Every structure is written in C-alpha cells, then in structure tokens.
Amino acid sequence: MRNKFLNTGQQGFDPVRKLRIAYSGFRYAILTETSVAIQVILSFSVLLACFYYRQWLDFTIVLVASGMMLVAEMFNTAIEALCDFVESGHNEKIGIIKDVASAAVGISIFVWGLTLLIETVRLWQGNW
C-alpha cells in the first residue's frame, strides 16, 4: 500500500494480500507460541459447545474474550521481539516494557479464563 506521507510503496489496496499476511502472522504465532496454541484449542472447544447447544450470546461472549486475549498475546509477542531486536543485552527499561506488556496479557488471560469457566459451567448445568 502506498504511504501518502513518504510517497513510497505500491499503489492501491490489495485485500487478499492483507488477509494472507494476517493469516501468516496468526499461523506463526500458533506454531511458535505454545500458550497461543493451547488457548486457541480451548477457545475453539468452548465455541463448538456453544454453537452445538445454540447458545448464541455465550458463543459471542467467548468469541470476543478469545479474540481480545489472542490480540493481547500477539501484541506482547511483537513487543518482546521488537525489544529484543533493539536491545539484545540486558536493559532495565526494556525489562519494564516487557513486564508491562506481559501484565496486559496476564489480565487478558485472566478475563478469558474466567469467561471460559463461567460459560463452561453454564453449558454443563443447562444441557446435561
């Protein structure tokens, strides 16, 4: 895509290319980060149960919580990679940046886990 400020890049918008890049990043995150792979599997399992039992509001809540958790995980991975690229040695400021990014992921995982737990219990009680 063309950068209108620097007047560089290719002309036009290619949505298929954007989707391929997004898929590539998601695939890379799943293959290289075990926590992302586990979270995707757990989320998908609960989403399937919600879909099977036609609990559409629950499905939506789990989908949103899972999406936000995955976004936080991927931002954290990108921030850590960028920090390691900029400063390969030990640096207190880089450590603080990584800690804050990790805390954001921790909060999102807590909310995601609580959401999955609540929805799983609701599905279990309502359909067995």
Residue among 128, 119, 125, 121 at smallest CA distance from 51: 119
What gap in Å lies between CA 94 and CA 87, rounded to an integer?
Answer: 8
Q: Mean pLDDT across the stretch 49-74?
A: 91
| Confidence band, pLDDT 50/70/90 cuts, at residue 73 | very high
Please tell me the predicted confidence (pLDDT) of residue 17: 83
pLDDT band at 6 (very low <50, low <70, confident <90, very high): low
Structure pTM? 0.77
| Tens of pLDDT, residues 107-121 | 999 999 999 999 889
User: Are 80 and 98 contacting, i.e. CB atoms less than 8 angstroms apart?
Assistant: yes
CATH class of 38-127: mainly alpha
Q: What value does the mean pLDDT take over residues 55-67?
A: 91
Residue 10 pLDDT exceeds 80 = no
Query: Backbone phi, then psi, for 11, in 5-degree steps?
Result: -75, 140
On the question of pLDDT at 128 being above 60, the answer is: no
For residue 8, the one-letter residue type is: T
Asked which of 5-9, 22-26, 46-50, 55-59 is least confident by mean pLDDT, the reply is 5-9
Q: Is the pLDDT of residue 4 over 70?
A: no
Phi, psi at residue 8, to the nearest 5°?
-130, 170
For residue 1, name the pLDDT band (cuts at 50, 70, 90): low
Query: What type of residue sits at position 57?
Result: L
Q: What is the DSSP string of 16-36?
A: HHHHHHHHHHHHHHHHH-HHH
